[in-house]
Chains A and B, each alone.
Chain A
Amino acid sequence: MLRIEGLSRPFGGVYAVRNVSVDVADGELRGIIGPNGAGKSTLFNLISGHLRPTQGRITLRSERIEGLSAHERARRGIAIVFQGARIFRGMTVRENVMVGAHARTRHGFLDAALRTPLHKREEREIRQSTDAALERVGLADWADRYAEALPLGQQRTMQVARALCGEPALLLLDEPASGLRARERHELARLIEGLRGGGLTIMLIEHDVQFVSNLADRLTVLNLGEILAEGAPEEIRRNDDVITAYLGREPAP
């Protein structure tokens, strides 16, 4: 699905991401962990197109994409849920989610102004898939509220619904569980499991190693912009380098 080779991106002489190579298989759930400042969010921004790499290549389904802009990558099936609440203020929850369908629909200003058949067909379909996405994440009851009136947790869930509405091939989730209460985290975990069950390829950044270990097929550990380790969750938890980087102490003999 996604192949990253030798990816680098410095900021003012310091590498935020350095020579990173990752292979994510079709339908895989890949967890990305690492201490603060390890370059996890930068890696996501490089994949989604909000940042350009200075070196390296990114291949999505055998197409090179590192030179494409973010909206072009969205059209090719990459969706991202940001860590912060990147919501569209002044729009209802439903309208926010409807925007997510932009990536896979195509009627423009002229079609809208003239109410062409293409416009009608797509609007009907966008409405249906939006309702389905809202239902799926459990926000159907909030659909007609303004997005900014939602608590932070629901704003995050709304972003997941927005991403799903675009029917992505690869979903990037940047710390979706942070700031959520225990019950909400549990629901989120069930939602992510369900998505993977449906065949969606997911990359998940998470601070909580326990949370991500239970979900992920494989984990990639970043530290200071470089890959420290990669493997199945149980291997990673026994990895001495990881323990040192994470806990700041020597592993037990």
Chain B
Amino acid sequence: MKRPPRTHRVVAVVAVVTLVLPAVLRESALSVYILLELAAIVTVGVSLLMGYAGQVSLGQAAFYASGANAAALLSLHGFPTGIGLLVAPIVAAVFALIVGIPLLRLRGHHLAFATLATQLIYLSMVGRMHLTGGDIGLQGIPPLTLGPFVLHADRNYAYLAWAALALVVLITHNVMTSRPGRALRALATSEVAAESSGVPVGRYKLAVFALAAGFAGLAGGIYAFYVGYVAPGSFPVLLSFEYVVMAVVGGLGTIEGALVGAALVTVVVQSLNQVATLGGMPSYAPIVLSYAAYSGLLIVAVLFLPQGIVDKERLRALATRWRARWTTPR
């Protein structure tokens, strides 16, 4: 039998390991694992948006929050929870379409600030509206029920998030390796030339913005059912920065980069959290340390790993050097 290509083997190994993990992790580690998966779902979208299509979003947590709010509201108003989960990405994508029409006329820093402002406005509105429970938020969200299965245990949410992440990765991979994906990569470096090749640049930017938001909304929907309550405070601006840091540290414009970045940043920040909550530490230690971790990782990545950790050319060079070292007799 022909050996499957290397990437297929790597994907298979990663899939098996990540599927076994929820079964062996302790409860506290399991919750970190679920948050990692949810962050990875959002980050794949951010990487798609920033790395492939060359657009920026510093407000991705707003789309995450809109998905969470939509799922929470629907299930609290008697709709089946499955419908809530299904609607979450749709609401986030529609939200992105509406704000994207004016915002995507901006570029670079202007777009970054505009998306940041979008999140601030969203949080402020949600915090004032009776419908969304004001600053206290929405509580008592029922557990997700999919057909005969009621998802109570954390482990089930780990598998659900895994499936969602796999879906998001598959969609991203399929889109990027075909006509619309090439068009997105093209418009990232020359809108004029893309336009003359027949790419409707404005519409494509809007589509990728909505797609990335849809991913965030899906993760938000799962988050709502997993945690059981959503409040404006659950979706700080820091969260949006976190996704960008994850995407940049891992390596923009690659799916592997988004996954590695999300995993690394989550693990680092959670470990620091452990330290920060030790006896004798001030109450503001966790937030200060996480800010320090984000900025530190970002600076290190930009200075020393501009292509991110998953820089294929550099990894290939490293692998060759190691192989040479181990195979030459001393």
Contact = CB atoms under 8 A, between A and B. Distances in A.
A113 B175 contact: yes
A162 interface: yes
Given A91-B185, A91-B186, A113-B171, A105 B179 contact: yes
Contacts of A32: none
Contacts of A113: 170-171, 174-175
B185 A71 contact: no
Interface in B136-192: 170-171, 174-175, 177-183, 185-186, 188-190, 192
A89 B199 CA distance: 16
Given A90-B189, A112-B175, A104 B196 contact: no
B300 interface: no
Contacts of B189: 87-91
Contacts of A196: none
B195 A70 contact: yes
Interface residues of A, number: 42
B111 interface: no
Interface in A66-117: 69-71, 74-75, 79-80, 82, 86-91, 95-96, 98-105, 107-109, 111-115
A90 B185 contact: yes
B296 interface: no
Interface residues of B, number: 29
B180 A108 contact: yes
A112 B181 contact: yes
A88 B174 CA distance: 20
A104 B198 contact: yes
Contacts of B327: none
B269 interface: no
B274 interface: no
Nearest to B207: A109
A155 B151 CA distance: 56
Contacts of B293: none
A109 B198 CA distance: 16
B196 A88 contact: no
B197 interface: yes
Given A80-B196, A103-B198, A115-B174, A88 B186 contact: yes
A171 to B, nearest CB: 11
B68 to A, nearest CB: 24
A102 B178 contact: no
B200 interface: yes
Contacts of A96: 186
B184 to A, nearest CB: 10
B198 to A, nearest CB: 3
A122 interface: yes
Interface in B198-218: 198-201, 207, 211
A113 B174 CA distance: 5
A149 to B, nearest CB: 13
B182 A100 contact: no
Contacts of B195: 49-50, 69-71, 74
A108 B188 CA distance: 18
Given A96-B186, A107-B179, 17 more contacts: A49-B195, A79-B196, A82-B196, A86-B190, A86-B193, A88-B189, A88-B194, A89-B189, A89-B190, A102-B197, A105-B179, A108-B179, A109-B175, A111-B178, A112-B181, A126-B179, A166-B198
12 contacts: A50-B195, A70-B192, A74-B196, A74-B197, A74-B198, A75-B198, A88-B189, A88-B194, A90-B185, A91-B189, A112-B181, A113-B174
Interface of B: 170-171, 174-175, 177-183, 185-186, 188-190, 192-201, 207, 211, 253
Q: Lowest 9 A-B CB distances belong to which pairs? A: A103-B198, A74-B198, A86-B193, A112-B178, A70-B195, A102-B198, A88-B186, A89-B189, A99-B186
Interface of A: 48-50, 69-71, 74-75, 79-80, 82, 86-91, 95-96, 98-105, 107-109, 111-115, 119, 122-123, 126, 159, 162, 166
